[in-house]
Chains A and B, each alone.
Chain A
């Protein structure tokens, strides 16, 4: 851009919270789990259970064979997510997601680590360890709670009213005239039908597996993605004097861009959802991880909103030209009271 102030990007907000939930909590929890397990090593049998299948333990091996992969996963997860918390999070949605994942995953992984070891303490060589199902369920519950807590306290975006010209075409609004633009976005009926069929088949398969193996814990875990996908399929986009609000049909997730933080908007095409956003749903851009959020429901016509603080939002929606013109007009209005 020609504006020299644009050369340096605005700082990502809430550094303290990001470091707390993205670095301090995961490192502390993982470190504590490592230390605890280390102190338990003398109480473990020479040969321990390594892998659990539908019929219980199906592979045994040395203690080192059990510990190193678990440590590897835990450390990799913590490092990757700590990195993400430091370089992303301009918008509260991304910040909440990343901090929730970092805190939740580290607690869950530490839980698995502890559960797998604690069930095998003081076991006779060749003895069968107690079931890990309950422990896993507890680890999942605590992990999800930690994620929810981090999500809730990741912090709102600070208010950053825009100044200067609104970029892009504006709808003409007479004084005394009020306008709202509301539109639903959903995948095509074909995609919806196949999606529903696939989800039903997947759910049935997982329930059947859980039924014959008696491992209900895996069912809970397996159905989480289905719920997650379902929340992301159908969206409603609304533009009024408050700005732009996009929410999934369940009410959450929800994105809001206040009119006075809009620098401008335009119509564009999203040709490669996978290439640009890594897929469909609400997601961060692959190209601009820190600042661009996409609500990508399908390919094609989309509304792109430039927001203060180097933030950008892309929403695939029909009739984006009308939406853009109205949003720009509302942005202009919010600057001239």
Chain B
């Protein structure tokens, strides 16, 4: 799969990498049991620290998306895509609603990251 990182972005590099794996799983580009590239190789190619890649992999492991196995590296967990099924549906609904309101998705993202305080 394709990994891209933007060194000028505010977003941490490990988060950028993790987000791409998540999306590839959701899109079905990464199937169950498929192996992710070795952390060392990915780090070399992107000219970043190996620990950054490992950080991303550990994050994904904690989310249950991948398994880290000695000798086999990072492997996509079985039925990982299903775990995201409901979130994926909810996101579709949000996108549709945003389009209906003419809201840019970046604005929606801000609303998700900084929810309005409930005022009773």
A182 touches B6 (CB 8 A): no
Q: How far is the CB of A159 from chain B (nearest CB, A)?
A: 21
Let me know if B2 and A176 touch, CB within 8 A. no
Which B-chain residue is minimally distant from A326 (CB atoms)? Answer: B2
Inter-chain CA distance A242–B45, complex, in Å, is 8
Tell yes or no: B72 within 8 A of A by CB. no
CA distance A182 to B20 in the complex (A): 13
| Minimum Cβ distance to chain B for residue A179 (Å) | 4
Are A179 and B7 CB-contacts (below 8 A) given A184-B35, A240-B45, A240-B46? no
A180 touches B6 (CB 8 A): no
A-B contact pairs, 6 of them (CB 8 A): A174-B6, A177-B5, A177-B8, A181-B3, A182-B1, A182-B42
> Count of A-B contacts with CB under 8 A?
53
Q: Is B11 close to A, CB under 8 A? A: no
How many residues does chain B have at the interface if contact means C-beta atoms less than 8 Å apart?
17
Q: Is the CB of B2 within 8 A of A179?
A: yes
Chain A residues touching B, range: 10 to 19
Known pairs A183-B1, A322-B2; A178 contacts B37 (CB<8 A): no
What A residues does B4 contact at CB under 8 A?
Answer: 173, 177-179
User: Is A238 interfacial (CB-CB < 8 Å)?
Assistant: yes
A241–B45 Cα gap in the complex (Å)? 7
Count chain A CB atoms within 10 A of each CB in B4, B46, B48 and give the residue with the most: B4
Residue B47 at the A interface, CB < 8 A?
yes
B63 sits at the interface (CB 8 A): no
The chain A residue sitting closest to B2, CB to CB, is: A181
> Nearest CB to that of B44 among chain A residues?
A240
Contact A178 B46 (CB under 8 A): yes
CB nearest to A173 among chain B residues: B4
Top-8 shortest CB links A-B: A240-B45, A176-B8, A180-B45, A179-B4, A182-B37, A181-B2, A177-B6, A176-B7
B119 to chain A, nearest CB (A): 40
Q: Which residue of A lies closest to B29 (CB)?
A: A319
- In the complex, what distance in Å separates the CA atom of A182 from the CA atom of B30? 12
Q: Are A177 and B3 in contact (CB under 8 A)?
A: no
B92 at interface, CB cutoff 8 A: no
Is B97 located at the chain interface by the 8 A CB criterion? Answer: no
Q: Which residue of A lies closest to B9 (CB)?
A: A176
Question: Quick check: A182 and B7 within 8 Å, CB to CB?
Answer: no
A267–B46 alpha-carbon span in the complex (Å): 24
Contact (Cβ within 8 A) A180 B7:
no
Chain A neighbourhood of B37, CB < 8 A: 180, 182, 238
CB-defined contacts of A322 to chain B, threshold 8 Å: 2
Smallest Cβ-Cβ distance to B8: which chain A residue: A176
Give every chain B residue within 8 A of A241 (Cβ-Cβ): 45, 47
